[in-house]
Amino acid sequence: MHSTKDEFRDPDNDSVNIAVVGCGYWGPNLVRNLCSTSGCTVKLICDTDTARLEHLRAVYPRVDTTNHFDEVVSREDIAATVIATPVRLHYDMAKRLLEAEKHVFVEKPLAPSVEECQDLIQTADTRHLTLMVGHTFLYSPTVRRIKDIIERGDLGNIQYISSRRLNLGLFQKDINVAWDLAPHDISILLYVLGEMPTGVNCQGKAHITPGIEDVTNMTLTYRNGMFATIQSSWLDPCKVRDMTFVGDKRMLVYDDMEPLEKVKIYDKRVEVPPHYDTFAEFQYSYHYGDVYSPFVKQVESLKFECQHFVDCIKSGETPISGGRDGLQVVQVLTAAAESLRLEGARVEIGKLATVEA
């Protein structure tokens, strides 16, 4: 069962000693937030880049640093580890850490394959350890507000959703743009809608690095006939982060690039006349109402995410973005990769496998 707490407070005063592995692009943000997280202490930072470690040592002089992952695994004073490395390393590192009886937080996606995700979940469950995935947007007050708006029925029945996550770079070497950017959109859809899609179509193109698509278009279909599109690109001149939710009563636009009014609700819809005898009598009715932006207090989502990881370690609760949530995202990505190989053909998404504790 997921935690439904709106505040992520530490339940007691015991400090959890944490190591952070990987301090390239995203790792330093994790270190910064963990250093200000209640109930934990960052004890060790691990990275292969010595110059990077020297910089972090200057910023955090009380934190130990190492080039050797084996030290993270073997140190008995480390209770939990955060992994922010290239995706190809996620499974092996997380597996070793779980087997060393350490709680694990893995940046998205959880692992390169469904089978590896399942193995990590089972390993964590067997040892009663917390396994959490870095789906940061699930800790965003804006996304949580959108979920509440949809669940209250303010938009009516959702007809379709359009999502765009575009920018110039950062080009990855081991995964394509769908595996890099789409996990954000997929995790938001899973969280907000509360259900898995049934199938996926995906097309894309590799313009810069052969074999690694830098532009993809994904379509997810659902049992009730609704569908969602996800456009991902490393090859766009403008940074775009938006989602449009179209309901039969109202429409909602979420623009994460907006500094304040990230959510706008449009009282707009199209109504079809219930009865008509001839085509000449058939006319659509367009409803144009007000546009309003609900107030959402903006805080750094990563801060909530880090606090939630520590809280779940202490309480034993299942994280909002736990291992099974990470598995679902990888199931969608795996189906999308197969559709991409089949030049856009629809691929059915298998049901979430049962993982025995």
Looking at 1.10.3720.10, 3.40.50.1820, 3.40.50.720, 3.60.150.10, the CATH number of the domain 16-135 comes to 3.40.50.720
Rounded mean pLDDT of 205-216? Answer: 97
Residues in the chain: 357
- Residue 7: is its pLDDT beyond 80? no
Q: What is the pLDDT of residues 74-88, one digit of tens each?
A: 999 999 999 999 999
Rounded mean pLDDT of 303-313? Answer: 98
CA distances 148 to 152, 183, 323, Å, are: 6, 21, 23
Question: Of the candidates 35, 4, 298, which has an alpha carbon nearest to the alpha carbon of residue 142?
Answer: 298
Percent of the chain with pLDDT over 90: 86
pLDDT band at 116 (very low <50, low <70, confident <90, very high): very high
- Residue 103: is its pLDDT beyond 80? yes
Helix (H) or strand (E) holding 250: none
Per CATH, is 138-300+333-347 categorized as 3.50.50.60? no
Q: What is the pLDDT of residues 21-45, one digit of tens each?
A: 999 999 999 999 999 999 999 999 9
| Residue 5 pLDDT | 36
As given in the structure block, the two tokens for residue 356 are 């025995």
Rounded to whole angstroms, the Cα distance separating 219 from 203 reads 9
- Residue 278: is its pLDDT beyond 90? no
Query: Do strands 215-221 and 227-233 pair parallel, antiparallel, or not at all (unpaired)?
Result: antiparallel
Sheet holding 199-205, edge to edge: 285-292, 263-271, 251-255, 235-247, 158-168, 227-233, 215-221, 199-205, 347-348
Rounded to whole angstroms, the Cα distance separating 83 from 75 reads 16
Domain segments of the chain as ranges: 16-135, 138-300+333-347
- Residue 323: is its pLDDT beyond 50? yes
| Residue 285 pLDDT | 72
- What burial letters (b/e) apply to 127-159, b meaning 16+ CB within 10 Å? eebbbbbbbbbbbbebbbbbbebbeeeebeebb
| Residue 2 pLDDT | 42
Rounded mean pLDDT of 183-211? Answer: 97
Q: What is the pLDDT of residues 45-80, one digit of tens each?
A: 999 999 999 999 999 999 999 999 999 999 999 999
| Residue 352 pLDDT | 39
DSSP codes joined into one string, 13-56: SPPEEEEEE--SSSHHHHHHHHHTSTTEEEEEEE-S-HHHHHHH
